[in-house]
Amino acid sequence: MYDGAEQYGPEQWSLELNRLNGVLESTISPGGLVGDSADMQSLHSLIGKAINHSFPVVILGETGTGKELVARWIHDSGSRKNSPFVPVDCSSLAPTLIESELFGYVRGAFTGAVTDRKGLFETADTGTLFLDEIGELHKDLQAKLLRAIQEHEVRPVGSTRAKPVDVRIIVATHRDLKQAAKEGIFRQDLYYRLNVFSVTMPPLRERKTDIPLLIAAFLIKHADPTRAITSVGKTFWTAAMSYDWPGNVRELENFVERCIALGSGSTLEDEDECLNWKDCPDTAMLHAESDSVEPLHVLEQRMIYKTLGKTSGDKYEAARLLGIGKTTLYRKLKAYGPL
């Protein structure tokens, strides 16, 4: 639990919010990264060293820790800021598509290629290409990527001519890239070429002192013009500070947004009531697979917890995946009893 919890009682929150808003202004980074914990301060000075260069940057860290924000920060603060920042999610593109997406293609390269098309490398020329989830990139493409980075040129699919490009590469992954390189899942030569400068994002559970500031920031970001929030109630506070946030800042942001949307009045309260779904004593049983016939409600419960596991506790996303409304999901979770 956060040491300063006492001073953040509900009565003090209006005052505290004012103070936090002041701190926010003076500590927010160019990329919009909020936090003034010791971890975040060392991150600030580390990133400062990467800004006025063009070497590749590797950003490591769990999902939702702000890896993409850091990539944008590096781009927006350096000499490339007036050129494009092009993000690519390597995990969402099919391996067959990604080559032509990255390097482009020429007319006739394959069925349907009726004109020449520029790839994302060329789109990012003089700017930054952000390769998110690089750990998921297929090995064939890893070789082609290495060539593009080393030679500063790309060869569109179906073309024999290479085109020069001037692109800064920033990559991110939730994987342990060094280990992946050791195990041969990730090409070692590419790993060494990329790993010139590396930044590791700390998980939110290791810097809980940033939570109040993040809450203040998200109250502004997701402000509802019909609901002025001047204080934060005990239920919200307790939930926010005692939870481990496996989905990190992204999950906290969703939580604040939901509590603003689902509640009413000037005090923000915990509208979820079952944020700590992981602590449910039945969770292990619910994850177990079994061949025997079980009551439907047990199966339903199991499926809901499984989905919550997949979405790191993000109930909006879980409800979407399960094809039910979020209110229905809340109702069902509540019916399973207190956690």
Ligand X SMILES: Nc1ncnc2c1ncn2[C@@H]1O[C@H](COP(=O)(O)OP(=O)(O)O)[C@@H](O)[C@H]1O
Q: Where along the sequence are the contacts to Mg ion (CB under 5 A)?
A: 68
User: Which runs of E-coded beta strand occur in the chain?
Assistant: 57-60, 85-89, 128-132, 153-154, 163-164, 168-173, 197-200, 231-232, 267-268
Q: Quickly list DSSP for 127-150.
A: SEEEEETGGGS-HHHHHHHHHHHH
Compare residues 16 and 133 and give the one whose CB is closer to Mg ion: 133
Residue type, 189: D
Looking at 124-228, list the stretches that DSSP marks H as alpha helix, in order from N- to C-terminal side: 139-151, 177-182, 188-194, 211-221
Compare residues 131 and 260 and give the one whose CB is closer to Mg ion: 131
Of 7-15, 59-67, 178-186, 278-286, the window that binds ligand X (rule: CB under 6 A) is 59-67
Compare residues 135 and 156 and give the one whose CB is closer to Mg ion: 135
Minimum distance, C-beta of residue 325 to ligand X, in the bound complex (Å): 23
Q: Contact, 243 vs 215, CB < 8 A?
A: no
Of 92-100, 233-241, 245-253, 314-322, the window that binds ligand X (rule: CB under 6 A) is 245-253
Question: Cα(214)–Cα(236) distance, rounded to whole angstroms?
Answer: 14
127 makes contact with ligand X (CB under 6 A): no
Question: Cα(196)–Cα(66) distance, rounded to whole angstroms?
Answer: 20
Compare residues 174 and 258 and give the one whose CB is closer to Mg ion: 174
Out of 165, 219, 249, 304, point to the residue binding ligand X (CB under 6 A).
Answer: 249
Minimum distance, C-beta of residue 67 to ligand X, in the bound complex (Å): 3
User: What separation in angstroms does the CA of 120 have from each of 95, 165, 332?
Assistant: 15, 11, 44
238 makes contact with ligand X (CB under 6 A): no
Half-sphere exposure of 298 (CA within 13 A, CB side): 12
211 makes contact with ligand X (CB under 6 A): no
Of 17-25, 41-49, 57-65, 99-107, the window that binds ligand X (rule: CB under 6 A) is 57-65
Question: Cα(298)–Cα(285) distance, rounded to whole angstroms?
Answer: 10
Question: Cα(33)–Cα(30) distance, rounded to whole angstroms?
Answer: 7
Phi-psi region of 8 (alpha: psi -120 to 50; beta: other; left: phi over 0): alpha
Compare residues 142 and 173 and give the one whose CB is closer to Mg ion: 173
66 makes contact with ligand X (CB under 6 A): yes
# residues contacting ligand X (CB under 6 A): 17
**What is the arrangement of strands in the sheet containing 57-60, beginning at the earlier edge strand?**
85-89, 128-132, 168-173, 57-60, 197-200
Question: Quick count: other Cβ atoms within 10 Å of Cβ 225?
Answer: 5
Compare residues 36 and 273 and give the one whose CB is closer to ligand X: 36
Of 18-26, 229-237, 247-255, 315-323, the window that binds ligand X (rule: CB under 6 A) is 247-255
Q: Contact, 217 vs 24, CB < 8 A?
A: yes
Minimum distance, C-beta of residue 134 to Mg ion, in the bound complex (Å): 11
Compare residues 172 and 329 and give the one whose CB is closer to ligand X: 172
Tell me which residue has tokens 């979020």: 326
| DSSP state, residue 282 | T
33 makes contact with ligand X (CB under 6 A): yes
Out of 13, 35, 190, 202, point to the residue binding ligand X (CB under 6 A).
Answer: 35
Q: Contact, 256 vs 222, CB < 8 A?
A: yes
Compare residues 132 and 272 and give the one whose CB is closer to ligand X: 132
Minimum distance, C-beta of residue 63 to Mg ion, in the bound complex (Å): 7
- Binding track, positions 158-197, relative to ligand X; x by CB under 6 A: --------------x-------------------------
3-state secondary structure of 334: helix
Out of 36, 68, 116, 257, point to the residue binding ligand X (CB under 6 A).
Answer: 68
Residue type, 109: A
Out of 43, 65, 155, 313, point to the residue binding ligand X (CB under 6 A).
Answer: 65
| Residue ranges binding ligand X (CB under 6 A) | 32-35, 61, 63-69, 172, 217, 249-250, 253
